[in-house]
Amino acid sequence: MKISILSGKGGTGKTTLAVNMALSLKNVQLLDADVEEPDDYIFISPDIFDTEAESVLRLIPEVDDDLCTACKKCVDFCEYNTLAMMLDQVLVFPEICHSCGGCKIVCPENAITEIERELGKIYHAVSGEIDFWQGELNTGEEKSVPVIEKLKTKIDTDKKVIIDSPPGTTCPSVEAVADTDYSIVVTEPTPFGLHDMDMVIEMLQEIQQPFGVVINRSDENSDHLIENYCSENDINILLKIPFSREIAELYSDGTAFVKKMGSWKSKFQLLYYDIVREVNNNEKNNSN
Ligand code: SF4
Ligand code: SF4
Residue 127's pLDDT is 87
Residue 252 lies in a domain: yes
Verify that 219 and 282 share a domain, yes or no: yes
pTM of the model: 0.90
Residue 261's pLDDT is 94
> How many other CB atoms are found less than 10 A from the CB of residue 152?
20
- Closest ligand, as measured to the CA of 65: 2
Domain with 279 in it: what CATH number? 3.40.50.300
Residue 50's pLDDT is 66
Verify that 34 and 82 share a domain, yes or no: no
Q: Helices (H) and strands (E) in the chain — how many of each? A: 10, 12
To the nearest 10°, the Cα dihedral for 249, 190, 25, 273? Answer: 150
Range of the domain at 194: 2-55+121-287
Question: How many angstroms from the chain centroid is the CA of residue 176?
Answer: 5
Atom of ligand 1 nearest to the CA of 104: 6
Question: How many angstroms from the chain centroid is the CA of residue 84?
Answer: 32
pLDDT tens, residue by residue, 32-91: 999 999 999 999 877 666 667 899 999 999 999 999 999 999 999 999 999 999 999 999
Boundary of a domain, candidates 42, 75, 110: 110
Average pLDDT of span 148-153: 97
Determine the 3-state secondary structure of 114 from DSSP.
Answer: strand
CA nearest 238: which of 179, 175, 187?
187
Question: How many angstroms from the chain centroid is the CA of residue 129?
Answer: 21
Q: List, chain by chain if needed, residues with CB within 6 Å of any ligand 1 atom.
A: 61, 77-78, 80, 82-83, 97-103
Verify that 247 and 134 share a domain, yes or no: yes
Residue 48's pLDDT is 63
Q: Can you tell me the distance from the alpha carbon of 161 to that of 21, in angstroms, rounded to the nearest whole number?
A: 11
Residue 139 lies in a domain: yes
pLDDT tens, residue by residue, 12-40: 999 999 999 999 999 999 999 999 999 99
Strand 130-137 and strand 28-32: the pairing is parallel
Q: Is the pLDDT of residue 186 over 80?
A: yes
Verify that 106 and 11 share a domain, yes or no: no
Question: How far away, in angstroms, is 112 Cα from ligand 2 center?
Answer: 7
Q: Can you tell me the distance from the alpha carbon of 64 to that of 49, in angstroms, rounded to the nearest whole number?
A: 40
